[in-house]
Structure 1
Amino acid sequence: MSPYDACGKRSGEVASSFRFRPCGLFGLLLLCVLLGLAGCGPKNVTSKGPFVVQEPAKGYPVVSSSGQKTGTVYLPADDGRPLSKAEREAFLSEGELDRNLSQDELGDVLLHFKYLVHEDRYTVEKNIERAQFYMPFIYETLRSRGLPRELAYIAFIESGFNPKATSSSGAAGMWQFISSTGKHYGMNQDWWLDERRDPYQSTRAAADYLSKLHGMFNDWHLAITAYNAGEGKIQRGLAATGSKTFFELRRKNEQIYSTRDRLSDENKQYLPKFLAVCKIARNLDKLGFTRMDLSRSPQVAEVRAKPGTDLMLFAKSMGMSWEEFAAHNPAYQRYVSHPSRSTKIYVPRRMAGQAQAMLIKLPPAKTGTSYAGLRDYKIARGDTMVSISRKTGVPVAELRRLNQVSEPLRAGRTLKIPGTNRTGVDARALAKASAPASKSVQVASVRRSDARAVPQQPVRSSASATHEVKKGDTMYSIAKRYGVTQEAILAANGMKNHNLNLGQQLRIPAGGTAVAENRTVAAPVRAVSAPAPQRAPSRSVAVAKESNKVVQYTVQSGDTLWAIARKFNVSPVELLSLNNMNRNTALRPGDTVRVAVN
């Protein structure tokens, strides 16, 4: 043993407490280091303890606390603005699904919370406005199954409570069911009807599916993530990493050997965004948002329609506008119900008895000669079911089923062609019985200043016309030539999409304008994949009329969602949410995009 202790004193020597020694300073420093290692370092503080909201003093962080890059479609960057007292209280509030989260686990939740509260308030207001019409039914459905009430806000993330929402992957409705899952839960999908868009039936299906997912994982965070990522991916991820929770699975994501089984950027942020929405929804007043008025929820009753019921004629007979009928029944894709089976119709409860009596009284659409939801097609010599299908956009099987005819076709005979329900559904229509159709915002397209095109002189036409599709034609160019909207052409020809075939005969609605043959051919727009490089705003912004701070912009050749966002100085994420699109949505010249302007 050394005769000197750690401070250099001989063994047994007593040091004076008043005497300064250099070794005493060294010992003091060493003691501080040891204390720091023992417990003075950073701790994993949960929201139950003295939670400290960690916010950067300025600038935008490159990565979040989860290690994921910020400033993307899936994870917004921090805006550098500190939370107010009310915002801090709202963020620290806890519900059934966001308890006992650590500082790191709440890091991404904070980024979504700040973005929605500071930058994207319009989306919150709009989604909450739509939600109030369905929330009482959603709450009651969740309650009846013993599920947490805040699961209702999955529909906020999925569709903004819009029953007509459709994704590029084919998911549809307020709860965004893909086709196979929708069929598994009893929602029929065909040319006539898509029951995934039925807000009531799809809500019951969503509650059943969420209950199943919770039974599989016994954890709501994993169940909610599985709703987005798929139960199989979550099961394989847990097995590969040995994880027990969502946040543990996310931390170990790179350990999963199969890249197909790893969580995508969207999967990683689905739960944090959902939790942020829950915190906002339970503190709407505190955060300055409009509180939901659940008394505005419509009182509806379900009645049954016979096969082949003319829905437009039914609505008119009941004194309902088509917009009101479509708002209550967004599942219908045609103006005529399915020709071979009965279907359900939702009507205001006060009209239930009258509506059922009217549905019994109305004859099947195929037996009459004049119906609001059908138009006549006179068979010409040489026509076949296939050629008529190409001209009208109606599948051959549906033409045969509706008209009960077989080939060869007899020239001069008349077929019934169902119209396509292209009417958008605004939830506000649910609150106004028999409200007149709201006028769509008209948008005049302005040519690019450097375009070299011969001026077109419109000529008024008082009667409908027929246009034969030629090489280079697009729905946009045809609509421009005749001075009508693309939607009007689609409706007049019973078409579901913009696809055209050479030689196809299109019926042009009356009242349009025929334009001289000199015309420019619209080039197709590539699918949106990433933001374009920053550049000065183009001078070709379409002229738009403002309506409740929302305008409709006509897509120009070469436009992308990100380019449109820059033109109007709005957030790309807000643009995606407002139009129920995602980053891969393709745009065509002539399409209209809704933009919320300041």
Structure 2
Amino acid sequence: MFTLLTKNAIAHSRKAITPLFSNHSVLRVLVAFPFLFTGLNSHASNELTVPVADYEIDCGETFECPQSLMPRVHFWVEVFSRWDTETAVFHDKENPHRVYSTVSRRDGCRRSKAGDSLDRERTNLGKSIKGLASALSAGRSLTDKQKRLHAKFKGESSSQIRAAADRLRCQSGNSNRMLGALEQFKLYRPTILDALESQNLTPELQYLPFVESAFNPKALSHVGAAGLWQIMPSTGRTLGLTVNETVDDRYDPTRATYGAARYFRNSVDRLSTTAFENGHTVVAKELNPFVVTSYNYGVRGMQRAIQQVGLDYERLLKEYKSPSFQTAVRNFYASFLAARHVAQNSEYFFGEITPDFSDRIYAFNTVKLDRKTSARRLVDELNLDSDEFKKLNPSFKSVIWKHKALIPANYEIRLPFKESGWSQQLASVNSLPVEIERPGFVLHRVRSGESACVIAQKYKASCSQLIKLNGLDRRATVYVGKQIKVPTLTGGISVAAVNKPLESSDTYAVYSVRSGDTACKIAARHSMKCQELLAINGLSRSSVIKIGQVLNVSGSDDWHVVTAGQTACGIAERYGVGCSSLLRANRLALRSTIRVGQRLRIPRGAGS
């Protein structure tokens, strides 16, 4: 038996190691007031005169720290602590610590185009490197600038230097995001440690969100990874998270954190098995770099890597070849070690950090709804503060908050803490008429020659909304024969006349389903709306009815549509029926709220 990534009482020195080239008093000013250095020229290019520093990285007994990896780690320490997001850093892709220059630019390395400051700097650096190689080959004397550049290529030949011109890479700084992440880290750390402990994992994994999302629970990547742990939709579902059109647990820091912990537990178990089956003695310290990298590259990818190079991370970086094993993957473990080092020595790099805990909600009740219910109804009937309710339930998508979709039944929601709980108030909510979800779209099957915008135009709908609703790619690609959703203005939530099937037949007649029947055919036969029949029988559009099934259908009762100023008892008096009879027929209580447009059933035998 072997135990991997288990909790270890590893004593980490909180005293930062002074780098060989230290100027962090200036760096703290850069982090706090970057405009002092960048505001004068938003596109200034600067040759790097202070090289990347060396740091003593304490990996303890948890992680392997190969010496060949350390220059890469040192570069990432400076990305997290030296350069801000408005600094574009040009360096060597294979030797990241070889930094040539920086460009002060609002977007860092993002949104570059031909002819801009980044493009010009890349071109000039390429020419300078090739010019240096040519001068060395020809035996010419070097200029002062070429000598400084040559100092970055210790012991390399002119041909090796020339090849470096094709390895230029731009990396945005991250120091200001790191500072914000450190503030958030202190808020989420207790939850992360609890989740890792629940899976018997090392607490050292708590530092991974620095690399993934900078501890931003609302982060969304261009490939669809979301939340604190940047989980993909399909991965989230396999980890037990709810990810659908109305709810996305990836945005809930607690649920996502426990999902990530399950991912790591699975990764440890599977990679351990692979290593063991390939004849390797499994040691946590050797396996853990592969486990961390699996979070970016996938467990299967790391299984293939172990089969090819064994549990040797240094050999992995040098020898493992795969089309998908590129720069981002190669940098992942190094950037994790760097973020961990900066976080453990945050006071050295950034000074004292005091997070704001005033906005944190420490206590709440968790409940499950018996049926689908709107957020608006819960806020109104339970007298909730809508902002607090929203903070407590970050998984809910905007369609729920915009009253376009209902909160699912049996989904665990959070309510403000009450010593006595919410059972009584929720029972009252359940006595209200059923809320019906009307889809805000119609389905269209794509025909030959149709594009997304052509389809939208046919329905007089917004093309951009259609693209967003269907999650189409940048080219808005649609495929012949596939169904897509076309947005409409009719989506939303309405209230049915009653909230569930009645057990007695005082108000309803009963009907036994026959061969060939559908819910809507039965409704039409009894002068009912299809949605009404579904509502009083607790059915939905996707429900299957079976031959012999007994359904409630309309009897000989009258109906009344509520208008402004009316009350339930006033309506009963108008029709000459008892108020209690009308309330009972509609499953209402005396204190229930009726709304304009709501249809009320008038019990049979009443006058008009």
Shorter-normalised TM range: 0.3 to 0.5
TM-score (ref. length: structure 1): 0.46
